C-alpha cells in the first residue's frame, strides 16, 4: 500500500509540474506564476496556528464556574 501511494503521489507531482510549466508559458503579461503545489491534490496543507479563545474553551470544557 505504501509503495502504491508513493508512486501515485510521485506521478501527481510530475503532472502538476507539467501543468504549471504549460500554464506559466501561456500566462498573460504581468500575471503571477502558478506553483505546482496549487495544482497537486496531494499537497499537504499547513496547519493553522491560533490561540484558543474563551468561547472555544467553554465549548470544549463547559462554563468555567462549575
Confidence (pLDDT) at 43: 85
- Asked, for residue 16, whether it belongs to a domain, the answer is yes
66 within some domain: no
Tally of domains within the chain: 1
* pLDDT at position 21: 96
Give the predicted TM-score (pTM) of the model.
0.61
In a domain, 34, yes or no: yes
Cα 61 to Cα 2: distance, rounded to the nearest angstrom:
38
Grid cell 504549460 — which residue?
A: 22
**Which residue segment(s) compose the domain that 11 sits in?**
2-61
Residue-wise pLDDT for 22-55, tens only, equals: 999 999 999 999 999 999 988 887 777 888 888 8
Amino acid at each position: 500500500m505504501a509503495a502504491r501511494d508513493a508512486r501515485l503521489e510521485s506521478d501527481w507531482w510530475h503532472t502538476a509540474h507539467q501543468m504549471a510549466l504549460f500554464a506559466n508559458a501561456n500566462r498573460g503579461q504581468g500575471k503571477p506564476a502558478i506553483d505546482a503545489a496549487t495544482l497537486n491534490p496531494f499537497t499537504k496543507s499547513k496547519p493553522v496556528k491560533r490561540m484558543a479563545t474563551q468561547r472555544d474553551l467553554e465549548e470544549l470544557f463547559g462554563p468555567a464556574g462549575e
